[in-house]
């Protein structure tokens, strides 16, 4: 990809290599551009990353390790032949400035002003860690044979005191060293679990008559099944008891009361009472029905005068019949003069 970058530069017509030397001198600019604006004061602007957690003294806010700033780097001294640099940066949450500098002797950074460090350091000796040999001890070990002998005796004593613990750790590690056995035991248990699940699923499919594969039960399925029930809220006997109790407590004769269905009342034998039949009365007569018969005499005779129930005798009465009980019919007049017969 390097050949695709534009590496050509524009050289103006009045550019003289012997006079200017480079384009930066021609433009009177530094190769670092704005980062070198204070280079005359020995200050170079760099990108600095916070080495540890701190608390800002200006705004009392926490600034985490790894936060980056544009810091002014300046050399302030030497530790033997190692230079000591100071970094000055502005807090991104307030107008306070924070200054840190290197500490080559302890391989660390030191806060000069503007903040305080969040103390998270500890002594490796307190946690039973193996400490590195100090530079002074290394020098004496190389030059002093007696000190080297004493140091060896001390190291052997430390080893004897730590031997029981090291032995127990080694035995525990050897117990888990058989990778093949552990793997075989784990796979055997896994196969047994799978076989039991397959047998259980096959039995369930046989009982339910299913031919589809069953998935493994999940926790979500258990929660959903706990919310479902296959039992009816009320049994059939309970529904019948409630229905009979409602019917027995219902008022039949109250105005506006709801009536039970006719089919239900007929099944229970509680139909509405029928009105009693009236006793049979005397057989009706033509006079009682208001029927008047007119008779015609022989040839030349005048029609018979109209007989009324009050004046004349009653006409012959037909055999008695028992008609249905009904209100009295209006008066009817039968006219048989045109038929030529004496009987109706």
Q: What is the percent of the chain with per-residue pLDDT over 70, rounded to a whole number?
A: 67
Q: Of 49, 47, 46, 57, whose CA–CA distance to 97 is shortest?
A: 57
Mean pLDDT of 274-284: 61
In the structure, what pLDDT confidence band is assigned to residue 46 with cuts at 50, 70 and 90? Answer: very high
Instruction: Report the pLDDT value the prediction gives residue 306, as an integer from 0 to 100.
Output: 46
pLDDT tens-digit map of 84-139: 999 999 999 999 999 999 999 888 999 999 999 998 887 766 766 666 677 788 88
**The pTM is what?**
0.39
pLDDT at 75: 94
pLDDT at 128: 64
Which one is predicted more confidently, 62 or 338? 62
Lowest mean pLDDT among 2-6, 85-89, 185-189, 310-314: 310-314
Residue 302 has pLDDT above 50, yes or no: no
**Predicted pLDDT of residue 134:** 75
Sign of CA dihedral 130, 136, 139, 143: negative
CA atoms within 13 A on the CB side of 156: 6
Residues 191 and 147: their CA atoms lie apart, in Å, by 63
Angle subtended by helix axes 145-175 and 135-143, to nearest 10: 120
Residue whose tokens read 């433009």: 27
Tell me whether strands 97-103 and 62-63 are parallel, antiparallel or unpaired.
unpaired
Backbone dihedral angles phi then psi of residue 193, each to the nearest 5 degrees:
-65, -40
Cα 230 to the chain's mean position, in Å? 25
Residue with tokens 């200054």: 99
Domain locations in the chain as residue ranges: 17-119, 132-176, 178-207
Per residue in 3-16, pLDDT (tens digit) is: 566 667 888 898 88
pLDDT at 185 over 80: yes
- Tell me the HSE value of 84 on the side-chain side, using a 13 A CA sphere: 17
Between 172 and 341, whose confidence is greater? 172
CA nearest to 98, candidates 118, 79, 119, 117: 117
């Amino acid at each position: 990809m390097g050949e695709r970058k534009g590496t050509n530069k524009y050289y103006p017509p009045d550019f003289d290599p012997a006079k200017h030397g480079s384009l930066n001198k021609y433009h009177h600019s530094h190769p670092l551009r704005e980062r070198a604006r204070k280079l005359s004061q020995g200050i170079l602007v760099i990108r600095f990353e916070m080495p540890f957690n701190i608390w800002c003294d200006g705004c009392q806010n926490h600034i985490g390790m790894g936060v980056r700033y544009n810091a002014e780097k300046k050399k302030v001294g030497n530790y033997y032949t190692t230079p000591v640099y100071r970094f000055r940066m502005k807090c991104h949450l307030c107008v306070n400035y924070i200054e840190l500098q290197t500490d080559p002797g302890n391989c660390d950074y030191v806060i000069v002003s503007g903040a305080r460090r969040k103390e998270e350091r500890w002594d490796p000796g307190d946690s039973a860690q193996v400490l590195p040999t100090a530079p002074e001890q290394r020098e004496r070990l190389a030059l002093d044979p007696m000190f080297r002998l004493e140091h060896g005796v001390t190291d052997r004593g430390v080893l004897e005191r730590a031997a029981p613990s090291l032995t127990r750790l080694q035995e525990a590690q050897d117990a888990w060293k058989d990778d093949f056995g552990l793997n075989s035991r784990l796979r055997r248990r896994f196969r047994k679990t799978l076989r039991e699940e397959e047998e259980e699923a096959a039995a369930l499919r046989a009982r339910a008559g299913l031919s589809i594969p069953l998935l493994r039960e999940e926790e979500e399925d258990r929660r959903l099944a706990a919310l479902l029930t296959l039992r009816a809220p009320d049994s059939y006997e309970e529904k019948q008891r409630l229905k009979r109790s409602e019917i027995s407590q219902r008022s039949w004769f109250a105005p506006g009361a709801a009536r039970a269905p006719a089919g239900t009342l007929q099944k229970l034998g509680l139909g509405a009472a029928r009105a009693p039949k009236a006793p049979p009365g005397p057989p009706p007569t033509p006079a009682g029905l208001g029927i008047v018969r007119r008779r015609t005499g022989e040839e030349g005779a005048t029609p018979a005068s109209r007989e009324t129930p009050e004046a004349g005798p009653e006409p012959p009465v037909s055999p008695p019949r028992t008609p249905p009980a009904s209100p009295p019919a209006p008066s009817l007049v039968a006219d048989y003069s045109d038929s030529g017969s004496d009987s109706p």
